[in-house]
Each structure stands twice: as structure tokens, then as C-alpha cells.
Chains A and B, each alone.
Chain A
Amino acid sequence: MLARKMAPAGLALALAVAGTPAAHAEFRPTKTLELVVHSGPGGGNDILGRALIAAIEDAKLSPVRIQINNKVGGGGASAAAYLAEKKGDPNVIGVFTSVWVTNPLAQAEANVGIRELTPISMLVLEPAVIVVRADSPYKTMKDLIEGAKANPGKLKQSGGSVLARDAVVRQVLMSSTGARWAFISFPSGGERISALLGGHVDMMVIEPAEAGELIRSGKLRALAQVTDERLEQFKEIPTLKEAGIDVPTVPQPRGILGPPGMPADAVAYYEELLAKAAKSPGWQKFVRDNLLQSVVLKSKETGAFLADYESQMRAILTQAGVKLVR
């Protein structure tokens, strides 16, 4: 998936965890656990967090209640800062996504980097599909890239922040093909899709769950999926590589981390809890319904993945001309 360049921090942590194999017997939560998410009720991370809690409660995996805590603001910065304050606390965990990695790189105020927090477990990767309107002249990825090359800077993509995954995918595609097109930010998914459906922009890099029904009803056409292998639900859509564009497929990762300096026995406890939760029927249904890929990694692999992801993002954002502060 991603080239594994083991970062020193990840390695040290890996050793720490590996050195305490029986540690999970030591930590046992005795009070209500807190699950910190960075979006408000209804946001992607909030929904994921609530689904996780529901799956855990359904399968009776936790002896105590788990409560969601919405620390909204700064695209993850408030939530990360809150976790950093809880240094060493075994009763608080949080849901991370790619903005936890990219925001601290670009924003001086977001001063808690992803590697300061304790990685616990990767849970899912969210794939993406590249879509155009059904009446678009572009039938394949090749058409789209040729079209963009013929009209440099004229085609438009609607998306979120320039730090978000859809902007990163555009950057990767542009630098590998030499085509150029505009990226127009909209704050909500609804506005992005409306701009595409109304014909005001030409394309989107979108989560399969958001686009699924619009593709099925023939309003949008998917040109490629940003995945390594074809997804179950989109058997007929080629992957980027199959469409002739061999670039790293930038995933949107979501998983769980803890405050800095979380005790190793607590990390081991949550690793085990999440591994069980990931197998629970409630969680598997959530993953299926939202067209996610279940990728469960342990603490040390999650740490290595995040370190890797950070250097990958750093390179892509620098190339995109985003001013990095760290």
C-alpha cells in the first residue's frame, strides 16, 4: 500500500509495545471512557465514533460506558490540543483522520502534531472515486486528462479544503500527467455535489458512499476509483492504475489514538478492544453500508503508517505550493 519507511518515533514505540506482551491484563477501565471527535454531531468522524460505540455496546465488549466528546474547531486542532492536555491519561481516546496529519503541517496554531499523540489502531480506509456528470464529454480517465491538457486551467474540480484528500489526489494526478485544472473549495459535501450536478464544475474526487446512489441512478459517471483493487460495490469501474495512471493511491485513514505518553498496558487494552470491535456485526455493517475498507492495524503499524503518511503529505503539499509551517 504505502512504502514503509519506518520513522524513529514509530520504531521506539513499536519496541515499547513489543516489550510488554502481557500488559493488557493490567489496565482495566473503571470509569466512563471518553472518545474525542473533531467534528460536530452529524460530521463524518462523529458518525463513525458513534457507530463504533454502538458496535462495542451491542457486542458488550466494554465493562464501562464510552461517551463521545465533540471538540470542534480548527479542523482537528481543538481535539488534538485537548488530547495533548490529557497527557498519560488512560481513559481518553480520539478518532483521527487525515486532517490530524495535514493541519499541523500548514497551521501555526494547530501545534499538536500527529506524532506527539499515541497511535492505537487504524480502523478503516475510505476509498474515493473520480466522477463527472453523466452528460460530460469525458467517458474515461484518459479523456478527462486529455481534455484538461487541451484547456489548461479551464476545467474545474469542486472539493473541500486544500489540505483535504480530494485536493491531494488532484495534486498527485496533475504532477504525474502534466495536466492542470482548478480546485474550488466548498465547505460542505452537499454544496460540492450540487456544483457538479448543476454543471458548474467538471469533476469531483468523492467518497463512494456519497456518490453511490447518484452513480446508480445515472446522474454521475465514475471514471476511476482511487484504490489499489476494485471495490466490491464498483466492480465495473477501473482503478487509477488500470485507467493508465500509475500513482500512489492516497487513502483517507480513520482510526483511534490516545494522549501523549499513554501507558503501554492501556494501549494494549484498546488494541484488543478495537480488534474485537472491528469483528463485531454492528461495525461490519457500518463499514459495509458506508462502502469503507476495514483495515485494522495495531499500535506500532498505525504509528508507522501515520509517520509515513505525514512525510508523503508533506511532499505533496509542498509541491502544491501550500505554505508549510512545520
Chain B
Amino acid sequence: MDVINGLAHGFGVALMPVNLMWCFVGCFLGTIVGILPGLGPAATIAMLMPLTYGMGPASGIIMLAGIYYGAKYGGSTTSILLNMPGESSSVVTCLDGYQMARRGRAGAALGIAAIASFIAGSFGIFALTLVAPPIAAFALSFSSPEYFALMFLGLALVVLLSGDSLIKGLIALLIGLWLTSIGTDLFTTQSRFTFGQSSLLGGVDFMIVAIGVFAIAEVLSSIKAGEETQVLPVPKGLRNLLPSMAELKACRFAFANGSITGFIIGVLPGAGSSIASFISYGIEKAVSKHPEKFGTGIPEGVAAPEGANNADTGGALVPLLTLGIPGGGTTAILLSALVLWGVKPGPLMMQDSPDVFWGLVASLYIGNVMLLVLNLPMVPLFAQILRIPVYILHPLIFGISIIGAYSVSSNLFDIGLLAGFGLLGYVMSVLKYPVSPLILGFVLGDAMERALRQSLMMSQGELSILVSRPISAAMLVIAVLILLSPLLPRFRKLRRDAIAEEG
């Protein structure tokens, strides 16, 4: 078997002491980068790239990739503890992670995030090892009509199963769709809703919206509620700081869902890890026996998105390593690093540079174990952050949020936007509007509009292109079924029975 030989060779490379060390350095740096909001893996890899010039390609890529997937482990930490997403892929983790922390289960939420990341991350790498070429071919069969159907499915999944008031959810969704349309239209280069501001030409960054409506709004709300004397509960004793068996058991389906959804969406060059995390959260909620509990702090709500954004790593490496196609900013910079070392990423990389290819793949397995070992013991320590009194914690959250927003593109205008989104989030929480449809509309809306317009350009204006292709048609049918499901209580009951039998 080629794969077994290759992997054995790869472990030979990755287990060399020097490479083990670089793998650890990468994972460690990645975790820190993940924890710091605003500073992303792409910027860090770009900054550290010059240090790797002298390292040789295998060591270099092992370290830089460590930063990439390590950041996804770390991203959940501040989402859970402070309602402040560390990376865009961990935004959805705020929804249930922070609520768990508020109920005294911060340690459990952090533990579940680490375990889900490990399980799904390992699954993603395993799938990368075994099925990279065929799954890359599948990804290529996906084009604009399929992306449209996928985004539509994502919107259907969460919105219609969310919240008490459908109308309020839809209004929040529309705000999100509007916000994402700000900036330069790709197809005509006309600017939309920029109000003459050159700072808005590039659109609004997702991290600024997310930090504003989650972290800033949360601080504002708790100031109003007069929580100055009330510190979030942190239970004593190590056992209470780790997830319980019951919580882990509740996450069984979420681990599988996050693994598979994250990997498949990760393979698609047009959909990033934030979309993967949202869709797996939506699926989790759609099939749950108690969808109404989502958003109140349940472990599945943390496990599904955190799993998905780590399985996404293995997926995103498939087109990079088999075709030389980067799916996003971070994989693009990994690609340029490979080119710099003289490795040519593409269909021939596996033959031409087996050391680098298999060395990297093997190091991913090792890195995932390292990250779990690195992160789990940190859980009880991180949970102590919540013991900090609010008169210190709140200014700290404001400060980190502002630095985070500024570091996105070193533009003071973004800090004004951050304040605006903080107020928006606060007003929404006072008026009891759900925030998640807004975020969802923001994440999916842009890609959905683009895919629709690309599809119609491909078909010269024929809408039938959306339903005449099998993958797209199938996803649209599922989306319509989901949209109709609240109207069909009988179908809903049947579906729950079916799930109960499986589970």
C-alpha cells in the first residue's frame, strides 16, 4: 500500500527530534495566536516565514502548519470565557460556550472544545491521508450552483429552528445580509453602502462584527445589570473543571457531525472554516431532540462547531496538497512558503517531494496529540480567569477587543465600527433579538449572493441551473424540507422517532 509506506516514511521524518521540536513550537505559538483576538494565523505565519528560510522545507512546513491548526484549538478559549471570539472560526462557539461558562461549566466547555478538536482534527487528517485524491475530484464538481445551495441550506438550518420569535430572527438575519453587502461589488466594482468612506470599500471585517455584537455588547449588558459584585461561578476541585461523562455522552453525535461536516466543507475552496462551524452547529440543532436548548449552554453546541473547524484543517489541505489550490488566506501563505523552499505544490508534489508531503501529514497526527496534551491541563488554569473581579475584567475585555479590532487592518475607523456593533448588539439584547441569525447572515450572505450571480452568469440568466445539477438540487430539496418542517408536526415527530432509534 502506497499510503502505508508513505505514512511510515512520513513518521520517520516527523519523529526526528528537530521536527518534533518545530511541531511543538508551531502548535504552541498557534494556541497563543488563537487565544489572542484579531491576531490571526495568516499574519503570524507571514511574520515568522523569514525565520524558516534556513530550516529546510519539511521542518518549516511542519512548524507553520502547526500555527495554522493550533490557532483553531486556541480560538475557542476566549469565546467560552469572555464571549470574545479569538478567531473567526470560533465565533459560533460563543453561543453555547459562553452560556456554559455563565452556568459554572467553563472548564467543561473548554475541555469539550479540546476533545472535540482532537477527535475531529484527527478524523480530518485520517481522511486527508486516505481519500485525498478522490475527495479533491469531488470538490471540483462543486461549483457556484452547489455553493448557492449549500449556503441556502445553511441559512435554512439555523434560522427556522432558532429563537422564540421567527420575525425577530428574520429581521436579525436581514441586518446581517445587509452588513455583508457593504463594500465593493466584485462583479461591477460599484461600491455599495459605503457612504463615501474609502475605509468601507473593502467591506466590514467579520471579526469586528463578531467582537462587537458578542464581547462589547455582553460587557454593556452586564454593566446595566449591575453585576459589579457578582463574579461568575467557578467551582472548586479539578473534577468540576473537566467535562462530566454525561456531557461527553451528549456530544457523541456532535463529534461525528463536526468531523464529517468540517472535513467536507473544508475541502471546498469557496467555503471557509467559519462556514463549516456554522453549518455543523445548524445540523446539530436540526437533528437534536431538544433544539430549544441551543444557545442556553449545552455541550453539543460547543462540540459541533469546535470539531468542525478542526476537521476543516484536514479538508483544506486536500486541494492545497493535491492540486496546489489554496482555499483561504492561511493556506495561501502556506503555499507561498512551500514555493519559497523550492517545493512545488500540485498534483506531482506527492511524488516529487515525499519528505515534505508525508512528513507534513504525519506531523499533523503528532501535532493533534500535542495540542490535546497542551490544552487539557490549561483548562483549570484558564477557568480561573473568571475569578477576576469585573472592575478589572471588563476594562480588560474592552482593551483586548480594541487591540483585536485594530490589528485586523491597522485602521482606526474599525474601532469606531467596533463601538457601533457593540451598541447594536446591546440594543438587540435589550429588545430580545437573537444575535446568531445576524452573524449567520453575515457569514453566509456574501458567499450566497456571489454564488447565485456566478450561477446565473454561467447559465446566461437561466434559474434552472440551480435545480438541474444533482448535488445542488439535492441540497435545495433538503433546505425546502427543513423550511417546511415546522409546518409538518407529523414529519417532525417521525424524524425525532427515527433519531431516537438511531441514538
User: Do the two chains belong together in a single complex?
Assistant: yes
Residues of chain A at the chain B interface (Cβ within 8 Å): 40-43, 46-47, 50-51, 53-54, 57, 69-75, 77-78, 81, 103, 106-111, 153-154, 156, 161-163, 182, 184-191, 193-195, 197-201, 209, 212-214, 216-217, 219, 286, 289-290, 322-323
B202 touches A73 (CB 8 A): yes
Interface segment, B252-260, B318-326, B373-381, B475-483? B318-326
13 A-B pairs (CB sep. < 8 Å):
A43-B332, A47-B46, A74-B198, A75-B184, A107-B201, A109-B196, A110-B198, A186-B450, A190-B327, A194-B142, A201-B458, A213-B345, A214-B347
- Known: A73-B201, A162-B189. Contact between A190 and B325, CB under 8 A? yes
B42 touches A41 (CB 8 A): yes
Q: How far is the CB of B258 from chain A (nearest CB, A)?
A: 23
Taking A73-B202, A194-B319 as given, write out 12 further A-B residue pairs in contact, using a Cβ cutoff of 8 Å, ordered by the A residue number. Answer: A42-B45, A42-B330, A73-B201, A109-B201, A182-B458, A184-B144, A185-B186, A185-B454, A186-B450, A189-B325, A190-B326, A212-B346
Instruction: Please list the 10 inter-chain residue pairs (A to B) with the smallest Cβ-Cβ separation, ordered nearest first.
Output: A213-B346, A74-B201, A73-B202, A42-B333, A41-B46, A198-B140, A217-B347, A200-B143, A190-B269, A72-B409
B409 interface neighbour in A40, A54, A153, A189, Cβ under 8 Å: A40
**Does B235 interact with chain A (Cβ within 8 Å)?**
no
B143 touches A50 (CB 8 A): no
- On chain B, the number of residues with a Cβ less than 8 Å from chain A's Cβ atoms is 62
Q: How far is the CB of B256 from chain A (nearest CB, A)?
A: 27
B454 touches A41 (CB 8 A): no
The closest CB in chain A to the CB of B140 belongs to A198
A47 interface neighbour in B184, B194, B197, B333, Cβ under 8 Å: B333
- Known: A197-B140, A213-B324. Contact between A73 and B409, CB under 8 A? yes
Inter-chain contacts of B330 with A (CB < 8 A): 42
Inter-chain contacts of B327 with A (CB < 8 A): 188, 190
In the bound complex, CA of A311 to CA of B475 (Å)? 48
In the bound complex, CA of A50 to CA of B327 (Å)? 21
A213 touches B344 (CB 8 A): yes
B201 touches A78 (CB 8 A): yes
Residues of chain B at the chain A interface (Cβ within 8 Å): 40, 42-43, 45-47, 49-50, 53, 139-144, 184, 186-191, 194, 196-202, 269-270, 319, 323-333, 336, 339-340, 342, 344-349, 409-411, 450, 454, 457-458, 460
In the bound complex, CA of A214 to CA of B410 (Å)? 36
Inter-chain contacts of A42 with B (CB < 8 A): 42, 45-46, 329-330, 332-333, 336
Inter-chain contacts of B349 with A (CB < 8 A): 213
Inter-chain contacts of A214 with B (CB < 8 A): 323-324, 346-347
Inter-chain contacts of B342 with A (CB < 8 A): 289
B270 touches A191 (CB 8 A): yes
B340 interface neighbour in A43, A75, A191, A289, Cβ under 8 Å: A289
B336 touches A47 (CB 8 A): yes
In the bound complex, CA of A50 to CA of B44 (Å)? 13
Q: How far is the CB of B88 from chain A (nearest CB, A)?
A: 13
- Known: A47-B333, A70-B409, A289-B339. Contact between A40 and B201, CB under 8 A? no
A109 touches B197 (CB 8 A): yes
B411 touches A78 (CB 8 A): yes
Inter-chain contacts of A197 with B (CB < 8 A): 140, 323, 325
B410 touches A71 (CB 8 A): yes
B188 touches A162 (CB 8 A): yes
Q: How far is the CB of A109 from chain B (nearest CB, A)?
A: 5
A109 touches B194 (CB 8 A): yes
Q: How far is the CB of A135 from chain B (nearest CB, A)?
A: 13
A109 touches B458 (CB 8 A): no
A41 touches B324 (CB 8 A): no
A73 interface neighbour in B144, B333, B348, B411, Cβ under 8 Å: B411
In the bound complex, CA of A54 to CA of B53 (Å)? 10
Inter-chain contacts of A191 with B (CB < 8 A): 269-270
The closest CB in chain A to the CB of B331 belongs to A190
Inter-chain contacts of A184 with B (CB < 8 A): 144, 454, 457-458
Inter-chain contacts of B143 with A (CB < 8 A): 194-195, 198, 200
- Known: A186-B454, A213-B345. Contact between A78 and B194, CB under 8 A? no
A198 touches B142 (CB 8 A): yes
Q: How far is the CB of B200 from chain A (nearest CB, A)?
A: 8
Inter-chain contacts of B328 with A (CB < 8 A): 188, 190
In the bound complex, CA of A193 to CA of B140 (Å)? 9
The closest CB in chain A to the CB of B345 belongs to A213
A75 touches B201 (CB 8 A): yes
- Known: A73-B411, A213-B348. Contact between A194 and B201, CB under 8 A? no
Inter-chain contacts of B345 with A (CB < 8 A): 213
B186 touches A109 (CB 8 A): no
The closest CB in chain B to the CB of A195 belongs to B143
A212 touches B189 (CB 8 A): no
In the bound complex, CA of A77 to CA of B139 (Å)? 34
Inter-chain contacts of A187 with B (CB < 8 A): 186, 450
Inter-chain contacts of B269 with A (CB < 8 A): 188, 190-191, 194
In the bound complex, CA of A81 to CA of B413 (Å)? 13
Inter-chain contacts of A188 with B (CB < 8 A): 269-270, 326-328, 332
Inter-chain contacts of A195 with B (CB < 8 A): 143-144
The closest CB in chain B to the CB of A215 belongs to B346
B50 touches A107 (CB 8 A): no
Inter-chain contacts of B323 with A (CB < 8 A): 193, 197, 214, 219
- Known: A50-B46, A197-B140. Contact between A41 and B333, CB under 8 A? yes
The closest CB in chain A to the CB of B195 belongs to A109
- Known: A40-B42, A41-B333, A213-B345. Contact between A189 and B186, CB under 8 A? no
A75 interface neighbour in B141, B200, B202, B332, Cβ under 8 Å: B202
Inter-chain contacts of A163 with B (CB < 8 A): 189
Residue of A54, A156, A190, A200 ringed by the most chain B CB atoms within 10 A: A190
- Known: A72-B409, A107-B184. Contact between A217 and B348, CB under 8 A? yes
Inter-chain contacts of B142 with A (CB < 8 A): 194, 198
B199 touches A78 (CB 8 A): yes
Inter-chain contacts of B333 with A (CB < 8 A): 41-42, 47
In the bound complex, CA of A195 to CA of B450 (Å)? 14
The closest CB in chain B to the CB of A68 belongs to B46
B199 touches A73 (CB 8 A): yes
Inter-chain contacts of B450 with A (CB < 8 A): 186-187
The closest CB in chain A to the CB of B329 belongs to A42
Q: How far is the CB of A2 from chain B (nearest CB, A)?
A: 24
A219 touches B184 (CB 8 A): no
Inter-chain contacts of B190 with A (CB < 8 A): 323
- Known: A73-B411, A78-B411. Contact between A194 and B140, CB under 8 A? yes
Inter-chain contacts of A109 with B (CB < 8 A): 191, 194, 196-198, 200-201
Q: How far is the CB of B65 from chain A (nearest CB, A)?
A: 14
Q: How far is the CB of A204 from chain B (nearest CB, A)?
A: 12
Q: How far is the CB of B359 from chain A (nearest CB, A)?
A: 19
Inter-chain contacts of A209 with B (CB < 8 A): 339
A74 touches B326 (CB 8 A): no
